[in-house]
Chains A and B, each alone.
Chain A
Amino acid sequence: MNLYLTLRLALSRVAAAKVRSALTMLGIIIGVGAVVALTAVGQGAQQGIDSSLASLGANQITVSATTPTGLQEADAEAIAEIEGVLQVSTQVRSGGTASYGSESISVGIIGVSPTHADLANPDVAIGSFLPSSPSLQNTRTVVVSAVGADDLGFTEASIGDEMRLQGVAFTIVGVLDDADGFGAGANVYITQDIARSLFSKPPYVGAISIQAVSQEAVPPVEYRVEQFLRYSKGVTRDEDATFSIFNQAALQDTIQTVTGTLGILITGIAGISLVVGGIGIMNIMLVSVRERTREIGVRRAIGAKQSQILTQFLMEAVVLSFLGGLIGLVIGQLASFGFSVLGGWDFFIDPTTVFVALGFSALVGVLFGVWPANTAAKLQPVDALRFE
């Protein structure tokens, strides 16, 4: 009795009792399906976060003012001289009103220094970013975030049009893509020089973006910048600081911790549902052994060894759990395809997920099938034949 025949026998058994097999597999189907879908959602979210981070650059450090006079242009100039700093840019921010045609909305107005484009590498969907040439810093040009463009009712043809910020006319030069950073709302970007004339007074700036020479240089640069600012502003206690420092790597660490926790959670759910599914299979296999006691007796009488009976029942348990895992995998992939459409991330079938889902469901069949199969194999032929 080779494995192929044993497999065929097990499949015909499972097929002969369709409702019962389906109900038995349900635990595994739901468990594997849920885990596959959750994993895909997690990976999709991770992918979105990663691409946001990538657009911001991993070797960036941002110093934000925590008071209106917390940072000055002079600080930025000094920081640019610190060892390990490639370049810096400054930003000023304010809330304001933007209007285009008949639409008028509240926006965040961000004035950026000419180096911003190099540093933040903004993702421009249509048009271009603000001019970086020093001679053009006094032109009233504006770049609008995707959300802002949406809210204002932009079309492709809006590039080159005029819109108003705080009542002042600006020429629209570009619209940014979605991956504009976290919580990207309706923002507009203008040159810092123009921003000065609108709302902000020199020499204060809202934030300084720093690009380190490499990702490895980020921690020492961050340390030096902090020491410099503390010294220059005479900060001795943390609560007196007029600035806060933030780097992408730290954020990435935080996100990795969160996704790690999420992973443990998913693994936990997977473990519990597979155990529950496995117990279901074990239960039905024990019932099956009892129902088929006479058949086992006949098989023993016509020459089946204990090991051949064991293999037969074990195979049935594995077929049940593996099929359950396969169906769960398909359902989970369909669900994650749905989520990817809703969530706007790329759908892909992760080979690891497929392998782990099928591998573990087969393993569950073996683990929970051994006891019933062994019970069947250990039946005394004479008792099994006499069983009513």
Chain B
Amino acid sequence: MAMTDFVVELTDVRREYKTGEVSTVALAGVSLKVERGEFVAIVGPSGSGKSTLMNLIGCLDRPTSGSVKISGKNIDTLDDNQLTALRSKAIGFVFQQFQLLPLTSAVDNVATPLLYQGLRPKEARARAGAMLTRLGLGERLEFDRGRLSGGQQQRVAISRALVTNPDLVLADEPTGALDTSSGEQVIDVFKEMNAEGRTIVLITHDLDVAAAANRRIYIRDGLIERDEVDSIAGAR
């Protein structure tokens, strides 16, 4: 079998939290692989461990045991700076509450990850503007978050996640703070992005949202309960 290009490779990952004497198991041994080009939904109720899973895939946290490989790199071997560099290059985040930076225009929000990578401001803004224009926000480049609707803010956030051309877009309840129609539009954006070949991992408790993905991983009590792949989803 040819070397398959895995963006995410989790092997027997455990994550425990210690608060004083009490230890809580958030993930009790999860193994999971995501190939390049997949659109995966991780589905589970709150407390199931899906946020912990997202933090690990997003290189924001480290496992208690087991190995986490993102874009082929084992995060256990990386120091904080290397981990940041990996996050900056490999992952684009979309948060539930959009999390646009305050006092910062849409275009500057989208340019920020590029600036952190060391791009010249002019080039970063140009690329950010192009990305926003693609997502239909070309008229609102200089608006700050106070002048954008929820749906528009989330599209700015998606632009910010995509602008670095990451291996993986990681979205945490991206429709959770949106009304139904804005939510549907956001999901359509993800579908389009996936059709262009981008890898997307979406975390949700909403089965309707999960239905948009072509693979759904159900998680409960820190373990994978079910891994469901649509038969028509090509490359598997």
Contacts and interface: CB of A to CB of B under 8 A. Distances in A.
Contacts of B85: 303, 305
A302 interface: yes
A305 B81 contact: yes
Contact-residue bracket for chain A: 20 to 34
A16 B102 CA distance: 10
Contacts, number: 62
Given A16-B103, A299-B101, A302-B160, A5 B93 contact: no
Interface stretch (B53-61, B177-185, B218-226): B53-61
A6 to B, nearest CB: 10
B93 A1 contact: no
A155 to B, nearest CB: 67
A380 B133 CA distance: 34
Interface stretch (B41-49, B114-122, B200-208): B114-122
A308 B116 CA distance: 8
A304 B60 CA distance: 12
B112 interface: yes
Contacts of A298: 93, 95, 99, 101
A12 B103 CA distance: 7
Contacts of A304: 84, 116
A374 B118 CA distance: 21
Contacts of A2: 115, 121
B57 to A, nearest CB: 12
B216 interface: no
Contact of B84 (A305, A382, A385): A305
A301 interface: yes
B115 A1 contact: yes
13 contacts: A1-B112, A2-B115, A5-B115, A12-B103, A299-B101, A300-B84, A304-B84, A305-B80, A305-B81, A305-B116, A382-B61, A385-B60, A385-B95
Given A302-B88, A306-B80, A385-B95, 7 more contacts: A294-B99, A298-B99, A302-B93, A302-B113, A302-B160, A303-B87, A382-B55
Interface of A: 1-2, 5, 12-13, 16, 294-295, 298-306, 308, 380-382, 385
